[in-house]
Structure 1
Amino acid sequence: MSIVKRMNGNLLPANPRMLFDDFFNRELFNWGNNNFSSTLTTIPSVNIKESPDDFEVEVAAPGMEKQDFEITLEGNMLTISSSKKNQKEESEGNYTRKEFSYQSFQRSFELPKDVVDEEHIVAKYENGVLKLTIPKTENAKKQAPRLIEIQ
């Protein structure tokens, strides 16, 4: 940016158009943290915990309803998605105010092959947290250590 003018001690760009572009192109907030996508939509935090018998996946999604979620398992790819629309309209006197919002997200996780018991996956939404319990197959569960005799 070439600067040629001074006004009240402040440097100004040579071209007023550059000032306009700079104002509208700079970020007003730091959206770079991991809870926001490039489209500035919230991506919920996810916790994944493995136990000897299963995997537990917790998705923080407050304000949603269980019918807002769709969970699919295709091969070993688990996909959790959600969408919710809100619309509100108020009319009073000579004005009408309409507000609407749309929230959506999709997260996919690759599960280990031949480890998950697909038929017994359970999902529950409670207190703003979607919790999935993904049981392991009997063959995949960790066996107790076997003592080997020395001969």
Structure 2
Amino acid sequence: MTLARLSNNWFPSVPSIFDRFFDGELMDWNNSNYSSTDTTLPAVNVMENADEYAIEVAAPGLNKEDFKVDYDNGRLTISSEHKNEKEEKDGEKVTRREFSYQSFQRSFTISENAVNADKIKANYKNGILYITLPKREELKPKPIKQIEIK
């Protein structure tokens, strides 16, 4: 007895629109938090209010010394390298050792004239890297001016 797969596709050489939809060709189902090397990139929140842009990077288990944040010509780059190596003690025989090496780099393009680069701040607390990019004064929204009618 031969088992056959039943298909509702009358034209097997033409892919179904539903096949393409669920394969991710019509919609980008790929999570952008993964690199091409199958390593996980940290999730990022990007927010904007009247005074600043704010970026939150979820990176638990790292130390603030593991991060490097650069701003150059309107491009904010966040990178990290973390090595977890255990030192071998004198007379110790190593039968198994697992190294841990994590690195990532994320870049964001922000209009060069929109940010006051001298006042960018970064803070790492409870596994989240917080970056604030203050807007230039001339780009902040101005209050509505009420015109008196005479």
Q: TM-score interval w.r.t. the shorter chain? A: 0.7 to 0.9
Give the match for residue 23 of structure 1: none
SS for the counterpart of 1:67 is: helix
Bigger shift: 88-97 or 138-147?
A: 88-97
What CA distance in whole angstroms lies between the structure 1 residues aligned with 2:137 and 2:31?
40
TM norm structure 1 = 0.72
Asked if 1:102 corresponds to 2:101, the answer is yes
TM norm structure 2 = 0.72
Q: 1:101 to 1:93 in 2, by over 3 A?
A: closer
What CA distance in whole angstroms lies between the structure 2 residues aligned with 1:97 and 1:89?
13
Which sections of structure 1, spanning at least 5 residues, go unmatched? 1-5, 10-31
Aligned residue-pair number: 122
| Higher fraction of strand | 1
Q: Deviation digits for residues 49-101 of structure 1, max 9, x if unmatched?
A: 11111111000000000000000011100000001011236799976211101
Give the match for residue 115 of structure 1: 114
RMSD: 2.4
What CA distance in whole angstroms lies between the structure 1 residues aligned with 2:138 and 2:35?
38
Q: 1:147 to 1:62 in 2, by over 3 A?
A: same
Q: Percent identity?
A: 48
Matches of residues 1-151 of structure 1 in structure 2 within 5 Å?
Answer: 32-88=30-86, 96-150=95-149
What CA distance in whole angstroms lies between the structure 2 residues aligned with 1:49 and 1:102?
30
Which sections of structure 2, spanning at least 5 residues, go unmatched? 4-29
Q: 1:94 to 1:106 in 2, by over 3 A?
A: closer
